[in-house]
Amino acid sequence: MDKFSPLDEISGLGQNSFTLKKTRGHKCVCYHCAVISFLARIFQTHHLQRLGSQINSALARLFHTCSSRGDANPDAETTGGQETMGETALALRGQPGKGETSGSERVNEGDGLQRRLYVSYCPRSNSRLTQYPSVVRKLQQNQYEIFGLPHRFKMSLLFLIFFISSAIGAPVRETGSQPFSVEQRLSYLEAMLHNEDPSLTGMVSVAAPWHTAWMMVAALLVLFMVLPGLALFYGGLVRQKNVLSILATCLGIAGLVIILWWAFGYSLVFGHNFHSPFLGGSEYFFLQGVNSLPNTNYAYWIPQNIFCIYELAFAIITPALIFGASAERMKFSAVLFYSFLWMFCIYFPLAHMVWGSNGLLNGLLNPEAWIPALDFAGGTVVHMSSGWSALVLCIILGKRLGHGKEPMMPHSLVLTVVGTGILWIGWYGFNAGSALGVDSIAMNAFMTTTLAAGAGCLTWPTIEFLFRGKLSVLGFCSGAVAGLVAVTPACGFINSAGAIWSGFIAAIVTYFACTTFKKIFHYDDALDSFGIHGVGGTIGALLTGVFATSTVNAHLISPITINNGLEHALKNQTIWLIQAKALGMSLLYVVIVSLVIAAIVNGIIGLRASQEAEAQGLDISDHGEEGYTLNG
């Protein structure tokens, strides 16, 4: 059988059959042929030779084309001495269509159903064309749901994606090697669509445009949470004379962490050559080797450089959360020095232990995890670690001047509300982006994030109303953030009911942590960093073990989880015990190391601003500027 040229059209015909025929000299104006012909001409113009035998023969044999209603006789011979190409028709339901042969065979689809496959033969070679009934059946039964488009557009989009990825995305074979089969290419495309491992196809994964685009947006959303989200949220809660110190803290930490991540951080978290469950490796120092190819230890379809920047955004926001507890009394130089040590001593090791593929606490990726815990988007790594460090720091610093004796009201709840909205929006990148692609887990995380935030947003002010008779705007903001914090470790593992309960429970517990607990233990957590992030992150991690289900995330049942015991705990509903062990170990580590870091910083440069500077305001004393000036 002749190989097809790049100008052979490929498209679907109707709901119940697909046909294949030679189209030399045929002028088709249907949507499918227009798309494929246009692409083929571009590819031929640019001499992309991989379209040759790999694409033309494979796709043309699988499906043909022309849905033009002007063809009265699909089997008509072409003119000008050109040879006739018979028609292949696949009819999985009903009787053979026009132009089909009477030959038939029984096809077992593996699901117990016998479906009739009508096959015709190439008149020239008298050899049966290769057919793939399972793929055709999926398309005919409308199983490829793509953005809710009509059937013909879904099929065209599927072919378009496959055509482009085959031409410019698939790995180049070595000269003389066996071409990839149609089954391999379709399996590869299906793995790409579902954000799954393509290794069984024998083809190397590459950056998929839609997964990459989403991860770039997600990275921007997480960074947007810090600048300006957290800056406005915290900035509105402090007094007017300290607003710039909060903004400077967020900006200063962003700059510092970016440099540390470039130099050492990414490698220490996601490297491997240390072969340690506590730290990664040195192979990515200064981002050497971090390019646009995927790091398949973590993500199959996004470039490693985009994965690196996405994780960098998490590294930026985490230390910034700490200094809400120490607001209005800690020197800016001490903030940067503390952050420098904290990243190396707490964040990098803990992030590797929880998220590294050979990490001590990584239940999903490490078959030899000592404690196979779950943390989808940072309940332990981000919120619990920063919140408990914040508690240690505010206790060591002591209370603000005049605390408990004079009012210390937020200077602008308007800024806080705006910051809350930005945090809420950015949290979708934080949680849904942690699926590292566009798939059902990301969609579930998007949904559960919304539900938990809504539950928390309503619950906190309701409690205020019950105890104080009023529903405060700050209560709405605090409750929403508490719900978001609690759902962070769980969002990719729980269903909608679990999300509602997580937001509801977290809002109740964090409300009392920010009110009753502070009064009992007499610590000055200025902006409730510990009350919301420390307590909320801890509660969320425990609830992850209560509500996690494999119906949401199938990765909970895999050879890895069977080996490390997570699958057994899931069946016995004891994941919460594993979560408690991981939290106990992490909490002990964070508290002890935070005490050591605070002692080092205090001994070298001092932690606290002078009483004069604190009374004047850190905006003037540290930065020589004021947040608000009234001119004439």
Highest mean pLDDT among 30-34, 175-179, 292-296: 292-296
Task: Tell me the average pLDDT of the chain.
Answer: 79
Calculate Rg over the CA atoms of the chain: 30
The pLDDT assigned to 629 comes to 83
SS3 377: coil
The pLDDT assigned to 69 comes to 34
The predicted model scores a pTM of: 0.76
Q: d(Cα 28, Cα 457) in Å, to the nearest integer?
A: 57
Give the residue from 461, 463, 460, 497 showing the smallest Cα distance to 482.
Answer: 460
Is the pLDDT at 462 greater than 70? The verdict is yes
- Residue-wise pLDDT tens digits, 223-261: 999 999 999 999 999 999 999 999 999 999 999 999 999
Domains and CATH numbers, the chain: 17-70+135-201 (no CATH), 209-356+381-623 (1.10.3430.10)
- Residue-wise pLDDT tens digits, 523-569: 999 999 999 999 999 999 999 999 999 999 999 999 999 999 999 99
Q: What is the mean pLDDT of residues 123-146?
A: 38
Percent with pLDDT over 90 in the chain: 65
Greater confidence (419 vs 63) lies with 419
Is the pLDDT at 628 greater than 70? The verdict is yes
Q: d(Cα 295, Cα 501) in Å, to the nearest integer?
A: 36
Greater confidence (63 vs 347) lies with 347
Per-residue tokens: 469: 């008779």
Q: d(Cα 464, Cα 470) in Å, to the nearest integer?
A: 6
Q: In a 10 Å sphere around its CB, with 0-12 CB exposed, 13-18 middle and 19+ buried, how is residue 401 labelled? A: middle
Per-residue tokens: 385: 């670690």
Q: What is the mean pLDDT of residues 151-174?
A: 48
Is the pLDDT at 144 greater than 70? The verdict is no
Per-residue tokens: 558: 């895999």
Greater confidence (406 vs 416) lies with 416
pLDDT band at 262 (very low <50, low <70, confident <90, very high): very high
Least confident residue range of 115-119, 290-294, 317-321, 439-443: 115-119
Q: What is the mean pLDDT of residues 201-225?
A: 93
Greater confidence (403 vs 476) lies with 476
pLDDT band at 2 (very low <50, low <70, confident <90, very high): very low
pLDDT band at 135 (very low <50, low <70, confident <90, very high): very low
The pLDDT assigned to 155 comes to 52
- Residue-wise pLDDT tens digits, 312-322: 999 999 999 99
Highest mean pLDDT among 13-22, 30-39, 478-487: 478-487
Phi then psi for residue 85, to 5 deg, are -110, 120
pLDDT band at 58 (very low <50, low <70, confident <90, very high): very low
471 in Cβ contact with 464 (< 8 Å): yes
CA torsion through residues 198, 202, 204, 209, sign: negative
The pLDDT assigned to 298 comes to 95
Euclidean distance between the first and the last CA atom of the chain, given in angstroms as a whole number: 88
Q: What is the mean pLDDT of residues 590-595?
A: 97
pLDDT band at 204 (very low <50, low <70, confident <90, very high): confident
Least confident residue range of 64-78, 246-260, 317-331, 583-597: 64-78
pLDDT band at 89 (very low <50, low <70, confident <90, very high): very low
410 in Cβ contact with 237 (< 8 Å): yes
The pLDDT assigned to 153 comes to 53
Is the pLDDT at 86 greater than 60? The verdict is no
Highest mean pLDDT among 76-90, 167-181, 362-376: 362-376
Greater confidence (218 vs 632) lies with 218
